[in-house]
């Protein structure tokens, strides 16, 4: 091997053939990715084993060399996993760190592993395998969160609370219905995850630097060995494509945005002003100065991590936007964005699952709030339409006058006397009091997807069959 005779201190052992001297210290620093891409060691080794096996099967390398390569790679895997492997920044990245160690372990046969491949298709493969596995983890985490929400929804299918628009009391809903709204959101996230796994299920290896290779390789064989549906079709696109990373980040950003909205509700609901919920001790913290405080830190941090995750998406979109085909070194900056977002998302999903599972629902407070703010005004208007035959616009106006009267008397709609109500509209009868309670209000909303407890139970059943 020509490289073996070279002074590795002066030029790179892997590609330094035409270089007389080594890189400037600052060049080495800006160029190296080993600090973060060592996370890809398992995928790199798996990819190399599949590649070497295929090369031998195709008669491109000998079986003897292939066996040595695989044995050496397995040794490296256990060295890394037991913390004995020495990563070197001089060797730039995970690919060259592993290959250099392989050369030390098995000698010249190591130099045959890189036949018919390039680091360009190698990194595309390793990173794609990593992202695919991360998406599979995300799918499981989302299922856990959905499961917890279904349980809470079932417990609280009948628990009334105020429903809000503009964060102003709008109409009574059930807490179960509100929980099921989140099931829908996280269910869509999980569908996005599943679609993304399908999109990226193509093997990049064998695209080589960008143009494919003159060796008689079998890309279908490596694709199958690595668990991909099929090989990618265009070698230029393959080494310049980071859509799989962008899709992961887009999904993560949307999901984090959902988590952030939930976090915001938890923060609001746990205030003494709302008191809809009490967070468990396990998911809150105290204040070092104010002994009475119990802070929703976990929810706040989930809300904040959304900023990091959304930032990662914008960062990678911006990294990619000006790149001509095919590979450019800019693309090395893809990994930290994805690794950081993945860590934040995993943590956020797990923390939210814990918080939702643990939190105490204060049904009494929710019910009291549900009845305030004239939340059944729409029910009064609907009664006038249904029972007195008024056009909805007129009923809306009559109800508005009833609300103004209740406001003047500082009471709820249900506290107005029949005489008072009849002074506003003569058609009103005592039957009106049957729709002015929050229970009657939610029970009446039986439209498909509505808040009536039986409708909510139907939603839960639909999801249970699909979770």
Q: Which residues bind ligand ARG (CB under 6 A)?
A: 33, 37, 93, 119-120, 123, 327, 329, 331-332
Q: Which of 166, 288, 410, 447 is catalytic?
A: 166
Smallest distance, ligand ARG to C-beta of residue 169, A: 53
**375 catalytic per annotation:** no
Q: In degrees to the nearest 10, what's the CA dihedral of 421, 422, 426, 427?
A: 50
Q: Burial level of 431, CB count in 10 A (0-12/13-18/19+)?
A: exposed
DSSP 171-224: EEEEHHHHHHHHHHHHHHHHHHHHHHHHHT-EE-TT-TTTT--SS---HHHHHH
Taking the least distance from each CB to ligand ARG, the nearer of 126 and 189 is 126
User: What are the structure tokens assigned to 373, written together?
Assistant: 């703010």
Q: Give me Rg for the CA atoms of the chain.
A: 31
Measure CA of the first residue to CA of the last residue in the chain; give whole Å.
Answer: 56
Smallest distance, ligand ARG to C-beta of residue 82, A: 24
Q: Which of 62, 78, 287, 328 is catalytic?
A: 287
How far apart CA 164 and CA 247 sit, in angstroms, is 33
Smallest distance, ligand ARG to C-beta of residue 331, A: 5
Q: Closest Cα partner for 444 from 160, 222, 88?
A: 160
Smallest distance, ligand ARG to C-beta of residue 79, A: 21
How far apart CA 178 and CA 157 sit, in angstroms, is 9
**57 catalytic per annotation:** no
Cβ of 38: how many Cβ atoms within 10 Å?
16
DSSP 349-360: HHHHHHHHHHPE
Q: Closest Cα partner for 129 from 17, 49, 237?
A: 49
Cis before residue 326, ω within 30 degrees of 0?
Answer: yes
Smallest distance, ligand ARG to C-beta of residue 237, A: 16
User: On the CB side of 388, how many CA atoms lie within 13 Å of its CA?
Assistant: 21
Give the 3-state secondary structure of residue 309.
helix
| Residues acting as catalytic residues | 166, 287
């Amino acid at each position: 091997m020509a490289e073996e005779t070279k002074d590795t201190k002066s030029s790179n052992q892997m590609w330094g053939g035409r270089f007389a001297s080594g890189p400037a210290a600052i060049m080495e620093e800006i160029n190296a990715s080993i600090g973060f891409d060592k996370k890809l060691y398992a995928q790199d080794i798996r990819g190399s084993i599949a590649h070497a096996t295929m090369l031998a099967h195709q008669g491109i390398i000998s079986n003897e060399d292939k066996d040595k390569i695989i044995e050496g790679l397995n040794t490296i895997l256990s060295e890394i996993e037991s913390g004995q492997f020495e990563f070197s920044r001089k060797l730039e990245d995970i690919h060259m760190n592993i290959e250099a160690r392989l050369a030390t372990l098995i000698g010249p046969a190591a130099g045959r592993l890189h036949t018919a491949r390039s680091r360009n298709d190698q990194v595309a493969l390793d990173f794609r395998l990593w992202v695919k596995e991360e998406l599979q983890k995300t799918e499981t985490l989302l299922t856990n969160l959905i499961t917890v929400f279904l349980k809470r929804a079932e417990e609280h299918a009948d628990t009334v609370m105020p429903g809000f628009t503009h964060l102003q009391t709008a109409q009574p809903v059930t807490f179960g219905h509100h929980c099921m709204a989140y099931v829908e959101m996280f269910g869509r996230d999980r569908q996005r995850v599943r679609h993304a796994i399908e999109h990226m299920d193509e093997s990049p290896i064998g695209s080589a630097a960008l143009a494919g290779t003159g060796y008689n390789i079998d890309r279908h064989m490596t694709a199958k060995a690595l668990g991909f549906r099929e090989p990618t079709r265009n070698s230029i696109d393959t080494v310049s494509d980071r859509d799989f990373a962008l899709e992961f980040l887009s999904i993560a950003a949307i999901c984090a945005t959902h988590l952030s909205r939930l976090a915001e509700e938890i923060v609001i609901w746990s205030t003494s002003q709302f008191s809809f919920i009490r967070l468990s001790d396990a998911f809150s913290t105290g204040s070092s100065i104010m002994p009475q405080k119990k802070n929703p830190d976990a929810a706040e941090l989930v809300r904040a991590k959304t900023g990091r995750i959304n930032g990662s998406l914008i960062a990678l979109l911006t990294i990619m936007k000006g790149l001509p085909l095919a590979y450019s070194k800019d693309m090395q900056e893809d990994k930290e964005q994805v690794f950081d977002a993945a860590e934040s998302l995993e943590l956020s999903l797990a923390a939210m699952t814990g918080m939702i599972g643990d939190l105490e629902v204060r049904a009494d407070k929710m019910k009291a709030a549900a009845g305030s703010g004239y939340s059944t005004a729409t029910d009064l208007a609907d009664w006038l339409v249904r029972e007195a035959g008024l056009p909805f616009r007129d009923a809306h106006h009559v109800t508005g006058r009833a609300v103004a009267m209740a406001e003047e008397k500082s009471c709820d709609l249900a506290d107005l006397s029949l005489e008072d109500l009849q002074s506003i509209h003569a058609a009103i009868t005592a039957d009106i009091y049957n729709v002015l309670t929050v229970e009657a209000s939610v029970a009446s909303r039986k439209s498909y997807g509505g808040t009536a407890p039986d409708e909510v139970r139907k939603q839960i059943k639909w999801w249970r069959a699909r979770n």
